[in-house]
Amino acid sequence: MFKACSIEILKTKRTIIRKLTWIFPILVAVVTSLFFASTGYVIQSIINQWSFIWINLFLALMIGLIDRHEENSTEYKMILSSPANLSQYELGRILHSSFLSLITACVLSILVILGSSFMTIKISLMACLGAIFGIFIDTLWEIPLYSWLSRITNLYVSIAIAFIGSLVGIFVNSSSIGKIFPFNWSSLLPVSLIQMHVNGLLVKSSENVPNSYWTIAASIVLFIILSCISAASFKKQVIKND
């Protein structure tokens, strides 16, 4: 699995996929700053916007591009000819995507740290960083999902699912069903940390906001389940695509 991950790292070297890990969060930070500069809550708005829409689209785009790069370069022939177990290889691919997602979280964290040096934030910097890395964990389950979807369909279907899932998550956010809707987990967790609801409204001082740290455990469990399913079906999918 780790060997497959290292191979995937070499494959994506000098590709747009690598550049996307820092270009995407920078674009999100810049655009959000321009739109919310007048509110005085730019840092919180960046994290809020990232939590319910941009992280989902980023993962779908990144993983879809990885799959497209594999198809265009080798048509999976390199993987098929490899002596490695295909299920383990898929787990390595998922691990690689998780690593890229972690890098993106680190880039966004650096941007937030830099932004906090000249922007006023009314919450602690540690809360902001905790929210960002919490979002990273809460969206881990999406990685094996998009890895599977992009192979059996294409890049655009994965992005469409991410977009629809994000929209549905916004609508059910405050309802009871919102807690069991996975696309909603990454937007539930930051609320108590950044003191801002998904709709952009600040949490009132008299408002009791329960923490949603349970979403971290739920995401990890779902990530493991979907990774096993994706790995088990990888051989059949690759042969079909070949």
CB atoms inside a 10 Å sphere around CB 13:
8
Count CA atoms within 13 Å of residue 64 on its CB side.
18
How many structural domains compose the chain?
1
Report pLDDT digits (tens) over 93-132.
999 999 999 999 999 999 999 999 988 888 999 999 999 9
Instruction: Tell me the mean pLDDT in the region 198-222.
Output: 91
Helices (H), the chain: 2-11, 16-36, 42-49, 55-73, 77-80, 86-116, 125-138, 142-152, 155-172, 185-188, 191-194, 214-241
Exposed (0-12), middle (13-18) or buried (19+): which is 135, by Cβ within 10 Å? buried
Locate tokens 């006023």: which residue? 120
- Sorting pLDDT into bands at 50, 70 and 90, what band is 1? confident
Residue 194 contacts residue 47 (beta carbons within 8 Å): yes
Determine the Cα–Cα distance for residues 163 and 212; give it in Å rounded to an integer: 23
Exposed (0-12), middle (13-18) or buried (19+): which is 170, by Cβ within 10 Å? middle
Determine the Cα–Cα distance for residues 218 and 229; give it in Å rounded to an integer: 17
Residues of the domain holding 173: 2-241
Which pTM was predicted?
0.92
Question: 32-36, 67-71, 131-135 — which one is most confidently predicted on average?
Answer: 131-135
